[in-house]
Amino acid sequence: MTVDVERALAEVLPAEAVITDPDVLAAHRNDQAEWAPSGMPRVLVRPASTAEVQAVLRVATALRVPVVPRGAGSGLSGGANASEGCIVLSLMRMSRILEVDRRGMLAVVQPGALNGAVKAAAAEQGLWYAPDPASWEFSSIGGNLATNAGGLCCVKYGVTGDAVLGLEAVLADGTVVRTGGRTVKNVAGYDLTRLFVGSEGTLGVLTEATLRLRPRPPKATTLVAAFPTLVSAGTAVCDIMERTRPSLLELMDRTTVRAVEDWKPMGLDVEAAALLLARSDAGGPQGEEELALMVAACERAGATSVMSTADEAEGELLMGARRFAFPALEQRGATLLDDVGVPVVRIPELLAEVERIAERHGVLIGTFGHAGDGNMHPTVVFDRKDAAALARAKEAFDDILRAALDLGGTITGEHGVGSLKRGFLGAQLGPETLRLHQAIKSALDPLGLLNPGKLL
């Protein structure tokens, strides 16, 4: 069977695009969610064109072999983890930026282009590609699309899907479809663009995207505020969202602040229950006015300290605390990075519940994330060598998902379901909506060959 698949692929692809070297295969069996289940792929293919992707999917369909599409492998939910005996389809040779249309304010790119490369190409034309997952320097646009990746700026500028005008995708049977187009508004037919975005490679393989670019925003003003309680921080978040349009609104809890301060001492208030970081990029006097409104909201909510600046370099220094959040927690041990969303008003309840979960399971959990969107990353830290600690960490991880659902939230705000959280999807969606997912999956991929065991 393996020989048949290889031979069939070798007939339709150049030799260098079909790889069976066991070391290379092993390197392509996981994304960053190492502890999610994965199997050994049968073969890795690296097509260089839509036609080659079609050829791979036709072989897969003819021989009934599962296909796991893959970008840069930076995913955090096991969405790109191989299943045993699958074809791993890497899109990383399709990494060209085909067009940047300055006047039309859009870019046409292949899925293997890194987010950072798209940002750079846009910047060359004086424009901005907004979506900024933390992985922007090393994650691919295709992966960003597959997970509908978020980031720091989406509190003002939306998630990846909000920046997509159109897509080209290859369905499981090799059919090429195009969705959307180059217009900003378009209601001709179903919104298949949005159906593919966030579908984690289970409905089709994305081979091209038309992305919306924006004018570069003005330089940001920045504030950092420390709060004595989670509730006071939550109050400030709501007030800021009601009164201003922050271009960033991030939260770090005490465990995270202490991890950062231990690793990179910068004089953070390690007694605070939470730190907020906020920015306005309204620019000029408006930016300063928004900053003043945000400072006032923090003070009214009971902040014990507020530092703010309209100076860009100083602002970058203040942002350092947030940028170090995850790496600082990683200094303390192995991590399970969770990704839940709750209504913004319920963030304090979520954080309090996470503290109880940490206590109950005897694990350390540092929480940070995108407070303005209610999207939090409770990060369970454990000793990698201690099997019992890993088990407790996994229990805590799952309890965090349950807590988010109990608060009317979601099991994933931006990382995707992948293989990690599929057991929880039904609990969030309910049986009827889950069945509807399966009906759509069957309509697009009747043989169930695309990324099996992910999302659904």
Between 352 and 440, name the residue whose CB sits nearer to a second copy: 440
Between 66 and 413, name the residue whose CB sits nearer to a second copy: 413
Q: Indicate whether 442 belongs to the interface with a second copy (CB under 8 A).
A: yes
Name the segment binding a second copy (CB under 8 A); options: 24-32, 39-47, 277-285, 297-305: 277-285
Q: Indicate whether 191 belongs to the interface with a second copy (CB under 8 A).
A: yes
CA distance from start to end of the chain: 27
Using CA atoms, how far residue 27 sits from 38, 67, 88, 90, 95, in Å, is: 12, 16, 11, 12, 20
- Of these, 22, 189, 265, 267, which contacts a second copy (CB under 8 A)? 189
In 244-303, alpha helices (H): 254-263, 284-301
Q: Indicate whether 194 belongs to the interface with a second copy (CB under 8 A).
A: yes
Q: How does DSSP classify residue 220? A: P
Q: How far apart are CA 171 and CA 175, in angstroms?
A: 5
- Of these, 14, 327, 408, 423, which contacts a second copy (CB under 8 A)? 408
Helices 2-12 and 50-63: crossing angle in degrees, nearest 10, is 150
Q: Indicate whether 44 belongs to the interface with a second copy (CB under 8 A).
A: no
Q: Indicate whether 244 belongs to the interface with a second copy (CB under 8 A).
A: yes
Q: Indicate whether 176 belongs to the interface with a second copy (CB under 8 A).
A: yes
Q: Indicate whether 300 belongs to the interface with a second copy (CB under 8 A).
A: no
We find the least distance from the C-beta atom of residue 181 to a second copy, in angstroms, to be 6
Between 2 and 442, name the residue whose CB sits nearer to a second copy: 442
- Of these, 3, 188, 313, 387, which contacts a second copy (CB under 8 A)? 188
Q: Indicate whether 192 belongs to the interface with a second copy (CB under 8 A).
A: yes
Using CA atoms, how far residue 436 sits from 80, 147, 240, 429, in Å, is: 23, 19, 38, 10
Residues 339-368 contacting a second copy, CB under 8 A: 341-345
Q: Indicate whether 409 belongs to the interface with a second copy (CB under 8 A).
A: yes
Q: Indicate whether 440 belongs to the interface with a second copy (CB under 8 A).
A: yes
Q: Indicate whether 294 belongs to the interface with a second copy (CB under 8 A).
A: no
We find the least distance from the C-beta atom of residue 423 to a second copy, in angstroms, to be 12
Q: Indicate whether 215 belongs to the interface with a second copy (CB under 8 A).
A: yes
Q: Indicate whether 161 belongs to the interface with a second copy (CB under 8 A).
A: yes
Residues 79-98 contacting a second copy, CB under 8 A: none
| CB burial readout 316-344, b (16+ within 10 A) else e | eebbebbbbbbebbeebbbbbbbbbbbeb
Binding mask 100-129 for a second copy (x = CB under 8 A): -xxxxxx-------------------xx--
Q: Indicate whether 455 belongs to the interface with a second copy (CB under 8 A).
A: yes
Q: Indicate whether 337 belongs to the interface with a second copy (CB under 8 A).
A: no
Instruction: State which amino acid sits at residue 408.
Output: G
Using CA atoms, how far residue 303 sits from 225, 270, 296, in Å, is: 6, 14, 10
The phi and psi torsions of 450 (rounded to 5 degrees) equal: -85, 115
- Of these, 414, 420, 449, 451, which contacts a second copy (CB under 8 A)? 414
Three-state DSSP at 202 gives coil
Query: Which tokens is 82 given?
Result: 């191989």
Residues 28/44, Cβ–Cβ less than 8 Å: yes
Name the segment binding a second copy (CB under 8 A); options: 30-38, 111-119, 131-139, 410-418: 410-418
Count other C-beta atoms under 10 Å from residue 270's C-beta.
Answer: 15
Q: Which helix (H) or strand (E) holds 213?
A: none
Residues 268/254, Cβ–Cβ less than 8 Å: no
Between 15 and 187, name the residue whose CB sits nearer to a second copy: 187
Question: Of 379, 394, 156, 358, whose CA–CA distance to 257 is shortest?
Answer: 379
Q: Indicate whether 242 belongs to the interface with a second copy (CB under 8 A).
A: yes
Q: Indicate whether 71 belongs to the interface with a second copy (CB under 8 A).
A: no
Q: Indicate whether 171 belongs to the interface with a second copy (CB under 8 A).
A: yes
- Of these, 4, 14, 24, 175, which contacts a second copy (CB under 8 A)? 175
- Of these, 61, 74, 148, 232, which contacts a second copy (CB under 8 A)? 148
Residues 426/437, Cβ–Cβ less than 8 Å: no
We find the least distance from the C-beta atom of residue 97 to a second copy, in angstroms, to be 18
- Of these, 292, 310, 429, 447, which contacts a second copy (CB under 8 A)? 429
**How many chain residues are in contact with a second copy, going by CB under 8 A?**
90
Name the segment binding a second copy (CB under 8 A); options: 58-66, 249-257, 378-386, 414-422: 414-422
Between 150 and 378, name the residue whose CB sits nearer to a second copy: 150
Ramachandran sector of residue 320 (left: φ over 0; alpha: ψ -120 to 50; beta: rest) = alpha
Q: Indicate whether 452 belongs to the interface with a second copy (CB under 8 A).
A: no
Count other C-beta atoms under 10 Å from residue 6's C-beta.
Answer: 18
Question: Of 122, 105, 136, whose CA–CA distance to 212 is shortest?
Answer: 105
